Amino acid sequence: MVSEARFLSNTLAFAQRVHAKCGPVSRGWWMFGQSVYLMSAQANEMVLSDRAGRFSAKHGWERVLADLFPRGLMLRDADDHRWHRRLMLPAFRKEALARYLEAMTPRIEAAVAQWGAAGNLKFCPAIKRLTLAIAADVFLGTQLDSEIDRISADFSDLVAASVAIVRIPVLGRTYARGVNARARLAGFIRERVAQRRASQGSDLFTQLCQARDEAGKQYSDEEIVDHLIFIMMAAHDTTTSAITTMVFALARHPEWQDRLRQEAQRVGTALEPGCRNGPTLDDLELMTDTELVFKEALRLYQPLPTIARRALVDVEIHGKRIPAGTPVAVFPIQVHRSPEWWSNPLQFDPERFSADRAEHRRHAFAWSPFGGGAHMCLGLHFAAMQVKAVLLPLLRHWKWSVPAAYVPDYAYAPIAKPRDGLPIRLVRV
């Protein structure tokens, strides 16, 4: 329990200490039970790429996620996982992303205008409100503000409960609030499945209701409930974390903020009134400097710091044997700051991802914020799109800063974010 508390209070310091003392393979407490800690790019590769099917994601994640996010994609293995993932793929292809982008743009523009007008802003809760509203709209197809507010509140409770240490549904406690929130969300979705199976909408919910495999088989109503709740969880906090870190890094490094603003102004010129309403995916593709900062933010403050699996057979890594049945946790957070792969690893240096330097290519799993292998993040293109869609109007219309002495106290787990919500000051460009 002591290592549990240390893990949660500062995952990075915990990982660095464990690695320095015990090397890349050790044993300890991880999220409600014993685990083998694996801290190397080689271990990331062995566990995540896992071509031979020697590790189970389902049995790795179930102790954290099974009660509140049961049967989501990360809680499925092998053929079962492949079938469920394949049926979902069209909802994450380019044509679908283009429709989501169009739907989210007005909401982003309105939120960014409001942030700036406020002058002083706690950025983290503000972006969280926006990503939740986008998720309710783009994933669930819900446009009513009252419903969006209720869904957002339920989601916040659900995510908070998934890492609650006390996992007994005692009235009024975090875990009980999560259980109740899940029941309400499930009811909300269940009531609408029949109607969505017969409708034409372009939201993710409707697409999952209509997806069929070659034999015409569809997701059951309950599978749709499980997948949607899981995807909303996987999507909003991670992207919130990435955008928050980018906003902090750009406040701390104004030369990068200026550079990205010039890029946004170039892309934005075509979007002026009388031209087009919002950016297209092709416009966002032009934001290559923003992409560098996105990658560097994910390296330094990886939203999901550790990834869980369970060994299904005996395996060996770095000369140590891991018996079948052992839970393992890989720690990309440690690898992301390892001098073995990165020059000046603690320094914010987005150019390290440029074509010339390409430090992330030194090992296929030196940079793995989205995981890898069969469970590699399904929403990584969605995430990049949303990040750029938010940064574009923010950079074009506002400059922001933090006080020179400001040092954020980062909570790295369960999702990386500054504990104080990241207060920033905005002024018009």
Q: Check binding of 57 to ligand HEM (CB under 6 A).
A: yes
| Rounded-to-integer distance, Cα 425 and Cα 77, Å | 46
Cβ atoms within 10 Å of 324's Cβ, excluding its own: 11
Does position 205 bind ligand HEM by CB under 6 A?
no
Cα–chain center distance at 409: 20
Least distance to ligand HEM, CB of residue 376, Å: 6
- Binding ligand HEM (rule: CB under 6 A), the pick from 134, 209, 307, 422 is 307
Choice from 371, 393, 408, 418 touching ligand HEM (CB under 6 A): 371
Q: Closer to ligand HEM by CB, 76 or 177: give it.
A: 76
161 in contact with ligand HEM (CB under 6 A):
no
Please give the single-letter amino acid code of residue 276.
R
CB of 87 to ligand HEM, least distance (A): 12
User: Least separation, in Å, of the C-beta of 24 and ligand HEM?
Assistant: 19
Question: Least distance (Å) from ligand HEM to the CB of residue 410?
Answer: 15
Which part of the chain contacts ligand HEM (CB under 6 A), choosing from 106-114, 172-180, 340-348, 377-385? 377-385
Chosen residue from 41, 231, 311, 315 binding ligand HEM by CB under 6 A: 231
CB of 100 to ligand HEM, least distance (A): 9
For ligand HEM, give the closer residue by CB, 8 or 176. Answer: 8
Distance (Å, rounded) from C-alpha 319 to C-alpha 299?
A: 28
Tokens 């034999």 -> residue:
215
**Residues 278/271, Cβ–Cβ less than 8 Å:** yes
d(C-alpha 15, C-alpha 30), whole Å? 11
CA 149 vs CA 117, 126, 136, 141: distances in Å: 22, 13, 9, 14
Q: Considering the complex, what minimum distance in angstroms separates the CB of residue 88 from ligand HEM?
A: 7
Q: Is 11 in the site for ligand HEM (CB under 6 A)?
A: no
- Label residue 85 exposed, middle or buried (CB < 10 Å: 0-12, 13-18, 19+): middle
Choose the binding region for ligand HEM from 103-111, 175-183, 269-277, 370-378 (rule: CB under 6 A). 370-378
Of 181-189, 281-289, 299-307, 404-412, which part binds ligand HEM (CB under 6 A)? 299-307
Nearer to ligand HEM, 174 or 241 (CB): 241
How crowded is the C-beta side of 142, counted as CA atoms within 13 Å? 20
Min. distance of Cβ 67 from ligand HEM in angstroms? Answer: 17
Which position among 268, 303, 305, 414 is part of the footprint of ligand HEM (CB under 6 A)?
303
Distance CA 100, CA 158 (A): 24
228 binds ligand HEM (CB under 6 A): no
- Quick one: which of 43, 140, 293, 304 contacts ligand HEM (CB under 6 A)? 304
> What angle is formed at CA 37 by the lines to CA 31 and CA 39, rounded to 5 degrees?
130
234 counts as binding ligand HEM under rule CB under 6 A: yes
Residue with tokens 């259980």: 179
Of 102-110, 112-120, 251-259, 368-376: span binding ligand HEM (CB under 6 A): 368-376
Stretch that binds ligand HEM, among 101-109, 115-123, 236-244, 274-282 (CB under 6 A): 236-244
Residues 50, 306 contacting (CB under 8 angstroms) = no
Nearer to ligand HEM, 268 or 332 (CB): 332
Identity of the residue, 192 or 375, whose beta carbon is nearer to ligand HEM in the bound complex:
375
Number of amino acids touching ligand HEM (CB under 6 A): 23
Taking CB under 6 A as the criterion, the residue among 43, 65, 74, 260 binding ligand HEM is: 74
192 binds ligand HEM (CB under 6 A): no
Report, in Å, the least distance between residue 241 CB and ligand HEM.
7
Task: Choose between 175 and 301: whose C-beta lies nearer to ligand HEM.
Answer: 301
Instruction: Summarize as ranges the residues that interact with ligand HEM (CB under 6 A).
Output: 57, 73-74, 85, 231, 234-235, 238-239, 242, 298, 303-304, 307, 369-371, 375, 377-379, 382-383
